[in-house]
Amino acid sequence: MRVRVSGSGEATLVILPTYNESGSLAEIVARLRAAVPAADLLIVDDASPDGTGKIADALAAADPHVCVAHRPGKLGLGTAYVLGFRHARGDRYRYVVEMDADGSHLPEQLPNLLIAARAGAGLVIGTRWIEGGRISGWPRYRRWISRTGTRVARVALRSRLRDITSGYRVIDTSWLAQLNLGQITSHGYGFQVELAWTLERLGCPIAEVPITFVERRTGRSKMSIGIVFEALGRVLAWGWQLRFAPGRLPRAVGPARAEETPSS
């Protein structure tokens, strides 16, 4: 794995989990390289049967800012990000970026999120449900599901975040260093809620920046009923513990064990 350390102390690592994203990956990488040319990209591919891994390898071979971690199977969104977080810790990177590789998160908006991080936010969330944020290409029922899920999470967890489920984020690694990543238990999309809520409870300064979320043009969504119910079940359980058994709340705080480093 090639590691580049920025002398500015603001080196950025963009983590792109992939599973069957052969139709979009090359374009997204090209747009990211144009939008944030100093950033490094880590593609975490879960043995995509459609050839995404081979495309990722070709991109890495042509660009020293791109590297790839190959995993043996579909291991989940949360574990892909944890792998990237572990690689980013230490003196390598100041910021890590979470974003989708399917085109739903616009690379051109990443500089706005990084501006908020450099202004002092430990977590920056690209938010759809604030003034200036919007969604393009979603039918009404999907908007309802997303907004309802966000409202349920805010009430259950007593959170002030207006888009706690959003997957477009910038995190300052000084705040990641305070977490024990092995204690984060969610693997699917509930991971986004658990991570943001854990940082919020720690007192991390959080900024929400409006984004445009665009429905994917290629491939198929990984969202399923099972993933939705996993996230909902965890949120309701945490909400119950928050009110009636606070000592049982998940605590992802403290130094993590020895870190693993992906290889390209």
Strands 123-127 and 206-210: parallel
C-alpha–C-alpha distance, residues 67 and 262, integer Å = 9
Residues 6+ apart with CB under 8 A from 183: 250, 251, 252, 253, 254
Determine the residue type at 74: K
C-alpha–C-alpha distance, residues 33 and 45, integer Å = 19
> pLDDT value at position 3?
40
> pLDDT value at position 7?
37
> pLDDT value at position 251?
73
Class of domain 12-248: alpha beta
> pLDDT value at position 227?
65
Residues 6+ apart with CB under 8 A from 7: none
Q: Is the Cα torsion angle 136, 137, 139, 143 positive or negative in sign?
A: negative
C-alpha–C-alpha distance, residues 64 and 40, integer Å = 8
> pLDDT value at position 97?
98
The closest alpha carbon to 36, from 25, 44, 28, belongs to 28
Residues 6+ apart with CB under 8 A from 226: none
> pLDDT value at position 260?
43
Mean pLDDT per 10-residue section of the chain, whose length is 264 residues: 48 97 97 98 98 98 98 94 91 94 97 98 97 91 85 95 96 94 82 94 97 80 64 91 87 57 45
Structure tokens at 41: 């990209």
Structure tokens at 255: 């130094």
The closest alpha carbon to 228, from 172, 257, 196, 189, belongs to 189
Domain chopping of the chain, boundaries? 12-248
C-alpha–C-alpha distance, residues 129 and 103, integer Å = 19
Tally of CB atoms within 10 A around 262? 17
